């Protein structure tokens, strides 16, 4: 509602006071009844108190002085002490109304300030929310790039084996043809081996393309043992070349897990590759992969990777981004961090411990 200008307010109060003074003289001289007059005096006083607060208390002196002036002029009809009490009452009522008005005005001002602060806070909250969304998107993009980096490293290592085989077998066949040094069957055998290595390389590339396409997590019922077998089959050549014996103790009664097959494959690959790298300088190189079901645990599906490497000293930092115990150039320090994030998306977790080597225990909820 639009406020009245100060000049308009003063004008209204002045008119009210003039009317009161006029009625005071008329009532005293003609009707000699001041009850209506006394009540009318409160109208301008209360208006003044509402508009100007406690400062309006001085205005109460006007109706308080009117009876005294009339008495001095010889037209008063009540004792002076009665007029003095009435004037004091005018002052008290005006003061109380002014205090209430000031308090109300202060509360309204506080409410406006609070509303403004709330609007600023909401705007800041929205700004922070937008920033958080932007940072989350950037983090997701960075995580995706890190995953792609890990995949590229695995792909380069795995493709090196079939490509080397293709070069060797194709070179043998070419030599036999050029030098007439082998039979048709021997040349055919080398070309069949080339074909096998091509199939193997195609399978590796198909696996990587499948992983690269997946931008969002895609949960579905999956069999953990099946993913572990695929992972170990994918890493078979590098495990054999590194002299690592892989032992599988897989519980075939393991229940299904609601998970993203490709992302879980990446987790198992990261942990297994870390184990292989940790055992490079060890005489005894064995990786044991165990699965079991613990129905009484909140995360009953358990996957354990245990190696015979030297273990580690910084278990609490292993899952931090860019932390690595490997030599420079041997790792990004992102593999376990990515694995930790992926398992968190699956409401699972990964823990590390030492037991004659590194032990990584992964826990996942089973499908309801």
Q: How many domains does the chain have?
A: 2
The verdict on residue 254 lying in a domain is yes
The verdict on residue 166 lying in a domain is no
Based on the fold, state whether residues 222 and 353 are members of the same structural domain.
yes
Q: What is the CATH number of the domain that holds 287?
A: 3.30.565.10
The verdict on residue 315 lying in a domain is yes
Q: Are 307 and 286 in contact (CB under 8 A)?
A: yes
Q: Please give the pLDDT value at position 228.
A: 94
Which pTM does this prediction carry?
Answer: 0.51
Nearest to 58 by CA among 16, 90, 19: 90
Which of 70, 103, 118 corresponds to the end of one domain?
A: 118
Which of 100, 118, 136 corresponds to the end of one domain?
A: 118
Residue 360, helix vs strand vs coil: strand
The burial of 71, by beta-carbon neighbours within 10 Å (0-12 exposed, 13-18 middle, 19 or more buried), is given as middle
The verdict on residue 305 lying in a domain is yes
Instruction: Please give the average pLDDT of every successive group of 10 residues along the chain, which has 368 residues.
Output: 62 65 55 54 69 70 60 56 65 74 79 86 86 72 62 67 80 81 81 84 73 66 93 84 92 91 86 88 92 92 93 64 50 67 88 87 88
Based on the fold, state whether residues 357 and 223 are members of the same structural domain.
yes
Nearest to 357 by CA among 288, 290, 309: 309
Based on the fold, state whether residues 365 and 226 are members of the same structural domain.
yes
Based on the fold, state whether residues 232 and 110 are members of the same structural domain.
no
The verdict on residue 136 lying in a domain is no
CB atoms within 10 A of CB 319: 20
Range of the domain at 25: 6-118
Q: Please give the pLDDT value at position 293.
A: 94
The verdict on residue 346 lying in a domain is yes
Based on the fold, state whether residues 241 and 114 are members of the same structural domain.
no
Based on the fold, state whether residues 366 and 223 are members of the same structural domain.
yes
Based on the fold, state whether residues 224 and 78 are members of the same structural domain.
no
CA distance 113 to 329: 58
Based on the fold, state whether residues 363 and 223 are members of the same structural domain.
yes
CA distance 361 to 352: 6
Pairing of strands 245-249, 286-293: parallel
- According to DSSP, the residues that pair with 286 across neighbouring strands are 245
The verdict on residue 20 lying in a domain is yes
Length of the chain measured in residues: 368
The verdict on residue 204 lying in a domain is no
Q: Are 44 and 13 in contact (CB under 8 A)?
A: yes
Which of 85, 103, 118 corresponds to the end of one domain?
A: 118
């Amino acid at each position: 509602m639009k406020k009245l200008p100060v000049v308009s307010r003063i004008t209204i109060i002045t008119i009210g006071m003039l009317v009161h003074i006029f009625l005071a003289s008329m009532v005293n001289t003609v009707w000699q009844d001041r009850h209506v007059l006394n009540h009318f005096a409160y109208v301008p006083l209360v208006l003044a108190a509402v508009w100007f607060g406690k400062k309006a208390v001085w205005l109460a002196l006007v109706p308080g002085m009117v009876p005294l002036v009339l008495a001095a002029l010889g037209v008063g009809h009540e004792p002076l002490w009665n007029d003095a009490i009435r004037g004091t009452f005018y002052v008290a009522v005006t003061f109380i109304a002014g205090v209430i008005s000031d308090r109300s005005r202060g509360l309204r001002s506080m409410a406006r300030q609070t509303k403004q602060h709330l609007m600023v806070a909401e705007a800041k909250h929205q700004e922070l929310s937008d920033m958080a969304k932007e940072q989350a998107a950037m983090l997701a993009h960075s995580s995706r790039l890190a995953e792609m980096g890990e995949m590229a490293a695995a792909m380069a290592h795995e493709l090196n084996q079939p490509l080397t085989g293709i070069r060797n077998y194709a070179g043998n066949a070419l030599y036999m043809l050029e030098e007439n040094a082998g039979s048709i069957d021997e040349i055919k055998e080398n070309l069949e081996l080339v074909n096998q290595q091509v199939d193997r390389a195609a399978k590796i590339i198909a696996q990587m393309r499948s992983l690269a396409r997946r931008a969002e997590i895609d949960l579905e019922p999956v069999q953990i043992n099946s993913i572990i077998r695929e992972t170990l089959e994918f890493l078979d050549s590098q495990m054999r070349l590194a002299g690592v014996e892989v032992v599988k103790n897989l519980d075939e009664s393991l229940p299904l897990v609601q998970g993203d097959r490709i992302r879980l494959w990446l987790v198992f690959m990261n942990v297994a590759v870390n184990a292989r790298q940790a055992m490079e300088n060890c005489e005894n190189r064995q990786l044991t992969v165990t699965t079991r079901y613990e129905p009484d645990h909140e995360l009953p599906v358990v996957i354990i990777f245990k190696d015979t490497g030297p273990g580690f000293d910084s278990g609490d930092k292993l899952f931090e981004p860019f932390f690595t115990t490997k030599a420079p150039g041997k790792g990004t320090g992102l593999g376990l961090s990515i694995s930790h994030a992926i398992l968190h998306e699956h409401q699972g977790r990964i823990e590390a411990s030492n037991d004659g080597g590194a032990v990584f225990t992964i826990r996942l909820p089973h499908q309801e």
